[in-house]
Chains A and B, each alone.
Chain A
Amino acid sequence: MRPIGLDRADGSAKAFLEATLPHLDIIYRVAFHTAHDHHRAEDLVQETYLRAYAAFAGHHGTSTRAWLVTICLNLARSESRRRSRRVVEAPLPDDDIAPAANPPVTDLVIAGLERERVTRALAQLPEEQRLAIVLMDLAGQTAAEVAGQLGCSRNTVLSRVHRGHRRLAGILAREDVDHGL
């Protein structure tokens, strides 16, 4: 169902969407794990695409995925700075409803709970480890690409990913002990 209505968009919009929508899942993951909220993440993704569209004419050569991720990261940074100056809003109720339950509902629920647990654990990691993991594991980028985006060396990225993985495993294991699992 991806490219609905592309026919209506004019030439440049169409070319833009064809080049960028295949990376939507990845951009959404990056947005979600930097914004920590579905609604803000969707807004962040939309803003990323609007910015990217405005700059599309000047985008040549480099990986479109890495280019979009960079735009998203920069927006997330300025957004979090802007938010931290403001009063924190009450979180909206999470109204994401699972689509029609074709797989057994219990499977969906368990998978959802597991994802939530990992999401919470990921959010507990130090920012630099979390970002490195999101950009490498969830955005599927190379350590070199991530190094460029984070302004550090490739080795630093690998080391943050490694420490992040270990700490994440530790958090999850401790939870298991706490809950007697």
Chain B
Amino acid sequence: MACDQQRIEAFLHGELSDAEEEVFDEHLLACESCWQAVQEHRAGRQAIERLRVPAPLGLADRIAASIDLASRQPFEDRGSPGHRSQGQHRRSAHRAISHHPRRLITAAAAFVMIAVGGTLGWVLNHHPASDPPQIARVVAMDTPTVANSAALRAGEHFNFGGQALDVRSYRVEGITTIVATSTNPFPMPVRSHLVGGSSSTAWMATHGKLAMYGVNQPTGAGGKSMFLVADMPVARLPQVAAQLQLI
């Protein structure tokens, strides 16, 4: 029997008949090159097995969040902000509260103490028009009643107010969270509060029901500045940022 590439492949994929397989088995005992081909194939396949890894934690939530955003907007309206029925963007009052990663609870508790002991008395409903445009535009994405809250495309790049930013949507414990990142620090919204505690500059603000939390890194330091917007208590956001590995 002569060496035959196709026969090796058929053998490796279990596609030879019993009779053919017996003949090939005999051949393998005697033929160095076919034996080597089979061994190499198996070694390569075994190496590949290592790459059968699960998707990163949090990706399923992020997908669900973006589908959620997309589902709140009729397909015809995509990209062209328009009219939507009232019920479509009514947010569910029911929220799943689940999985608090244990390692984050202390950080969150420490933060709550700072917030309670410090300043909680900022005015909640400031005028949106006075926010810097890059902040206002991202906030609008999480506000279904505002016209341009289009479903985000994946990792969408924007240039708002002269600042290049990437915007992504995640779902955190059932709540849609919009994250903006940039290589430049974000201007702080009006009536925002600085929160201390690290070398970077962190701030918080609220906008109606929505809360914002941002951490700025100095320009050129290599780190990314970010802020996130979500319909949840502002004190939760540092924990969420840590959960999403943003800080």
Contacts and interface: CB of A to CB of B under 8 A. Distances in A.
A6 to B, nearest CB: 7
A138 B51 CA distance: 7
B41 A169 contact: yes
Given A13-B68, A50-B154, A165-B41, A133 B48 contact: yes
A4 B243 CA distance: 15
Contacts, number: 177
Given A1-B99, A162-B41, A172-B43, A95 B151 contact: no
| Binding site secondary structure of chain A | helix
Nearest to A47: B154
Interface stretch (B20-28, B57-65, B111-119, B139-147): B57-65
B151 A25 contact: no
Interface in A42-85: 42-47, 49-50, 53-54
Interface in B158-179: 168, 171, 173-175
A151 B226 CA distance: 43
A21 interface: yes
Interface in A78-114: 93, 95-97, 99-100, 111, 114
Interface string A1-24: 111111111101100110001001
A7 B48 contact: no
A88 to B, nearest CB: 15
A158 B13 contact: yes
B6 interface: yes
B47 A9 contact: no
A131 interface: no
A147 interface: no
A107 to B, nearest CB: 13
A43 B47 contact: no
B155 A43 contact: yes
B130 interface: no
28 contacts: A1-B57, A5-B171, A5-B173, A5-B175, A9-B68, A13-B68, A13-B71, A21-B60, A29-B53, A39-B155, A42-B62, A43-B155, A47-B154, A50-B66, A50-B70, A54-B70, A122-B51, A137-B45, A137-B52, A138-B48, A143-B13, A158-B9, A162-B8, A165-B42, A166-B40, A169-B39, A169-B43, A170-B40
10 smallest CB-CB distances across A and B, nearest first, come from A165-B44, A5-B174, A28-B55, A43-B155, A13-B71, A46-B154, A169-B43, A168-B44, A47-B154, A169-B44
